[in-house]
Structure 1
């Protein structure tokens, strides 16, 4: 009994420390965003005595965070839609359609997961520049699709491989074509996986800095995370405004994570439990 109690403490204490280390930066940022510059300079660690929204309003309008937020929303929505479409179709094909080279294609997608973006970023930027896609929304959307499609295909193929082939065969006997099986059978069954993978892809695209920084050089087309990095230089002496920009970027991610945390966990473990 005593050994079990000690074991629980051994697990609980590190988890509590990790939780505090994770939550504290967000609380510190929120507290700093509610202070005036004078209050922050005098005592940066004290709790604010009032909720002041002027810094957040200033960051949203004067610092351009509102425009950056819309840019990110447009790009992430387009990228996730294409990722789910192509990823679900490719996952269905690799898991249930028999064609020559299917195994090699799946292994190629798996191998692509281990290629760092830094290895391909120079040829990617050159290709985008030659195609006239630099500093455009379609260019950044296509870059995100190319970067995160192998991950999406892998998880969708892993999920679909757990669906019995008898269901697909029965749908074909009923007269469904390949596209009919995909649209009428596989998409409804794969809805939980689509939601889980979609949330992860959205978080990846939303939090990206490097790809957006390379392909969106103009201030007008910056994404939110690139805008936050630019605030560090522009408002280095105005920490409350900078903290407000960080808070604007962090709150959507935090809300999505809290709302879809079970879906995220399911997506992370899908590859090890399916197929």
Structure 2
């Protein structure tokens, strides 16, 4: 690649990277400031590294409770999504039955339905069944919202598995459940990890579904808790910035250490092998 062409590509990429990193650096700097320092000059560097705002956001503001709520909901949601998604993906990819093609098309169609379209009916159903403001209600809402995406990716991945492997397992005496548990789950481990990471990020970053299903302050998830801080601490921006930082750090860590799995999840099943 000619040097000029490399510069043409490198300069916009560097500008994009700077635009992505700067908000996090600015938020971290604000979180380290006192209210007085922020009022005097919001763009200057903090005089010292002070963790008082982070401690206040974690303890007094209630971010620790919101964090725990998110961990519980995300863990349960991802576990159910991987369980149901892997079973459905295996069935649609390797168990040809009447209506399987129509069922897969239905899964594809569900991917194009925005949550705003089903928001009101879902809220009424959850209210009628007493699941509003409960952990199971929010978990079921996440499973319903992200299951089509999970099924689609895992079906695409399992479709790349040679059918001879499944046939050999059946000849060895494995039932359908045995093939799923002993063969397809271990083979699909990379795809399961990738899809699990993506679903965890989706659930962790969600605001709309959580705000709809968890109206009480006690059951708020972390992202909803952060949005509520903006109104409660509009005159204490360093505390608000600390809450944003607490919510952003887990996502940043996941991206740093599992970026390859995230990329693989986006392209799962797109290539053979």
In the superposition, the TM-score normalised over structure 2's length comes to 0.98
1:273 shift after superposition: 2.8
The answer to whether the Cα contact below 8 Å between 2:158 and 2:269 also exists between their aligned partners in 1 is: no
Correspondence list, 1:181-260, <5 A: 181-260=179-258
- In structure 1, the residue matched to 2:77 is 79
Q: Is the 8 A contact 2:160 2:269 kept in 1?
A: no
Range moving further from structure 2, 18-27 or 43-52: 43-52
Q: Is the 8 A contact 2:31 2:239 kept in 1?
A: yes
How many matched pairs?
Answer: 273
Residues of 2 paired with 1:274 and 1:139: CA distance? 38
State the partner residue of 2:43.
Answer: 45
1:177-236 deviations in Å (ceiling 9; x for gaps): 000000000000000000000000000000000000001000000000000000000000
1:63 CA drift (Å): 0.9
Shift in Å at residue 274 of structure 1?
A: 5.3
Q: Where does structure 1 lack aligned partners over 5 or more consecutive residues? A: none
Q: Deviations over 1:138-187 (max 9, x none)?
A: 00000000000000000000110000000000000000000000000000
Secondary structure of the corresponding residue to residue 273 of structure 1: coil
Alignment counterpart, residue 64 of structure 2, candidates 59, 63, 66: 66
Unaligned runs of 5+ in 2: none
Aligned partners of 1:51, 1:109: CA distance in 2, in Å? 50
Residues 274 and 156 of structure 1: CA distance in aligned 2, closer, same or farther (over 3 Å):
farther
RMSD value over aligned CA atoms?
A: 1.0
> 1 CA distance for matches of 2:138 and 2:9?
43
* Corresponding residue SS for 1:45: coil
Indicate if the aligned counterparts of 1:84 and 1:152 stay in contact, CA closer than 8 A.
yes
Distance 2:20 2:85 in 1: 32
Hey, what's the Cα distance between the residues in 2 that align with 1:6 and 1:228?
Answer: 44
Mapped partners of 1:88, 1:252: distance in 2: 26
Superimposed CA distance per residue, residues 239-270 of structure 1 (whole angstroms, 9 cap, x where no aligned partner): 00000000000000000111100000001112
> Would you identify which runs of 4 or more consecutive aligned residues in structure 1 move more than 3 Å?
none
In structure 2, the residue corresponding to 1:221 is in which secondary structure? coil
Contact 1:154 1:271 in 2 (8 A): no
Residue number in structure 2 paired with 1:174: 172
Any idea what the Cα deviations from partners look like across 1:6-32, whole Å, max 9, x if unmatched?
111111111111101110000000000
Alignment match of 2:140 (pick from 117, 139, 142): 142
Aligned-pair distance for 1:271?
4.6
